[in-house]
Chain A
């Protein structure tokens, strides 16, 4: 009886949660949450998402007026292997991106180097589509002889927690060899592939054959709004190519892969108004794209909002949808109970904002999505306004009596 009483009194005093995000508008599409809720976190995990949580927490953060969403999942970024690579933390975490998937930086020959240099050094969760080329972007991406489906699949099976699939890109020779070897590696490892590949006529590759015959359901084609990579629009009628709809029905996925060259207002505007949005919002972030087009995740999301995608869908295609595509759902992309607590707190600002495409042409919009606070595995790692921390007072820090 005494022990029970002690227990109860301890429970009343000790905070139940470590972190409580209070009063925000939670959008967690996978769990059907869309409204004012509190998010409670214990340790590294989501403890509860509910209306008006009253239990005490070590740190309570007022996020009224903001959207609270699962940490953003960017399935296409460049963190390794060439001079345009960006170490993820200072680009991802301020943007609310808690998971970054490197798109083809390492291959099976240098994956451990990538793991040591990037994955283990980052606060951001970093995963990878490994390149079908053994040396990844550090090798020759046109070297068919270094495209070994078996060795690639073996490496994926060795690191199932880090490698989500295979990338093939920048292939500068004709024919389907690179696509076929990549898909073969995907088949052997039971993982999706992500492809770019130019459609210049001399390559003998066309989008229709690729998306209808070469790619499997669940495979991804990137740069959906770059008309040099994907024939999304018929260039004569400006209608969506029928085979694009057919590919989508087959289960082929298309990600934005914005980057420096792959978002054109002329293509995106038409494709969106004709009903062909990207399945997944992704950045293709690298050193020059972040300077010329400012295209981090909130920027890409703002552009989708500007082109008419509803906010909830924008969030879904930046969280749950990419997590599904890399087969990490529901571990990633949701705020479900007991999931690792990766959270982004977003503001949708009103004003007049300029957004750039690959040609640095601007389009003005009246809403902009910005990230104001990022939680990674339960820890506040970015806080634009300092809202999670105590106010400084001239009387000094709160310290115990000396």
Chain B
């Protein structure tokens, strides 16, 4: 008899010999009968997802409910790997008593804005550089329930809102590389400066630092730079580097209604495009024709910050809903917030549901109705569908449950009290 067979027999014996006659509980949580999204293949299949000890324990067509402490019927929803938001601003430390006063105001609370949107991993897009990263690590990365990763800004000070222009002297490759290596489990790439002042030098050093650590550069073309878009797309960036604000109103993605040649050629050579909604990264005038031409960003991200969360509602569910209503199929959207970004940041294990992986999961509802969405230029798109997160699971724990699917009713809890 093999060892595995012996275990099976023993478990079976234990089951029948339990005094109460009950089968032992082996799973903490069972998501029953959802449309489970296979991010690598881009397809969905009906299946049960069982979670134990913070990991995905089993994905199978029929896992018995009595084996789980809590079973949730998710037959009306999609079950996907927890979403990855590759471009966010979550350095909200200035409200803390020990926060860095130079940290600026853009950053928003990571947990509040991510978890209710099915996002279990946010990547901060360069709020800090090598001079300021470690305080951000202590105050934000280590304190958040959502997984927080980061692109390190090539500017040593990162985003310092006291400044209106980047200081070329504060761009140093070596200390940037050293800091990125010291925190290789958090820093997934290098970000170009957010303010003008360094031009091509800023891009070159961003790419140089990224190359030194074997990671991607995330860059933005600021208006009136001293270099042209084709130079950036076709000469300076390597395959695997990322250009953000793909659908921005000032991004020359379209040329006479078609995808402009430099962008098509850049994609051909492996340069990646990030949506980066934010306050300037999503215009329906660019997005609608681009979608018609089949040009989708490789990665869909929110670039959410204090301002963009308000009128454009640049949260993840709303950002995806805008694209859904422009005609992008749901599976293509989900791939671009799971498998694709996981590869871009070198964390393939985060973008897929498989047995043994950490149980970061989003359960998503597609609502039908009449909805309106504003882009970054405050123009409205009328839509008929909207995505909402029903459940978010982070390391096996339900951290967001908008419908009470996993929670007990108060009448079953007895006469509980805070008095003790």
Interface of A toward B, CB cutoff 8 Å: 79-83, 85-87, 89-91, 93-94, 117-118, 121, 123, 137-138, 226-228, 235, 261-262, 264-267, 287, 290-291, 294, 353-364, 380-387, 389-392, 394, 396-397
Q: In the complex, which residues of chain A have a beta carbon less than 8 angstroms from the beta carbon of B77? A: none
Interface residues on B, range: 35 or more
Residues in A with CB closer than 8 Å to B143 are 83
Q: A186 to nearest B CB, angstroms?
A: 25
Cα separation A138 to B96 with both chains bound (whole Å): 9
A113 nearest CB neighbor, chain B only: B101
Q: In the complex the two chains form, is A290's CB within 8 Å of B112's CB?
A: yes
- Of B57-65, B168-176, B357-365, B378-386, the stretch lying at the interface with chain A is B378-386
> Contact between A386 and B418 (Cβ–Cβ < 8 Å)?
no
Write the chain A residue with the least CB distance to B144. A287
Contact of B115 among A291, A382, A384 (CB under 8 A): A291
Q: Which residues of B are found within 8 Å of A396, using beta-carbon distances?
A: 285
Question: With A261-B418, A382-B310 as given contacts, are A361 and B373 in contact (CB-CB < 8 Å)?
Answer: no
> Contacts A291-B399, A354-B403, A397-B379: A226 and B418 contacting too (C-beta < 8 A)?
yes
Question: In the complex, are the beta carbons of A117 and B94 less than 8 A apart?
Answer: yes
Going nearest first, the 6 A-B pairs with the smallest beta carbon separation are: A354-B404, A386-B380, A386-B372, A138-B97, A385-B372, A392-B379
Residue contact B413 to A359, C-beta cutoff 8 Å: yes
Q: Are A392 and B95 in contact (CB under 8 A)?
A: no
Give 19 CB contacts A-B under 8 Å: A82-B96, A86-B109, A87-B92, A89-B306, A90-B108, A90-B309, A90-B310, A228-B419, A264-B417, A266-B410, A291-B399, A353-B403, A362-B408, A383-B374, A384-B313, A385-B372, A386-B372, A386-B373, A386-B381
Return the chain B residue nearest A87 by Cβ.
B95
In the complex, whether B295 has a CB less than 8 A from a CB of chain A is no
Prevailing SS type, chain A contact patch: loop
- Give CA–CA (A89, B305) in the complex, Å: 11
Which secondary structure characterizes the binding site on chain B? loop
A266 to B413, CA, bound (A): 10
Contact A228 B418 (CB under 8 A): yes
**Known A-B contacts A94-B310, A265-B410, A361-B413; A391 and B95 likewise in contact (beta carbons under 8 Å):** no
Q: Which of B95, B378, B415 contacts A85 (CB 8 A)?
A: B95
Could you say which residues of chain B place their CB within 8 Å of the CB of A265? Answer: 410
> A266 → chain B, closest Cβ, in Å?
6
| Total residue contacts A-B, CB cutoff 8 A | 146
Query: A residues within 8 A CB of B284?
Result: 392
Q: With A354-B407, A382-B310 in contact, is A87–B379 under 8 Å at CB?
A: no
Shortest CB distance A385–B (Å): 4
Q: In the complex, how many angstroms separate the beta carbon of B400 from the nearest chain A beta carbon?
A: 7
Q: What per-residue 1/0 map shows which CB atoms of B98-121 lie under 8 Å from chain A? A: 000100010011011101100000
Q: Which residues of B contact A390 (CB under 8 A)?
A: 379-380
B371 at the A interface (CB under 8 A)? yes
| Chain A contacts for B409, CB-based, 8 A | 361-364
Q: B306, A87: Cβ atoms under 8 Å?
A: yes
A381 neighbours in B (Cβ, 8 Å): 310-311
Residue on A nearest B370 in the bound complex, by CB: A385
B375 on the interface (CB 8 Å rule)?
A: yes
Q: Is B72 an interface residue (CB 8 A)?
A: no
A287 touching B112, Cβ below 8 Å: yes
Most chain B CB atoms below 10 A, which of A267, A290, A392: A392
Given A290-B112, A381-B310, A396-B285: 9 more A-B contacts, CB < 8 Å: A90-B306, A227-B419, A264-B418, A291-B400, A294-B402, A354-B401, A360-B407, A361-B410, A392-B381
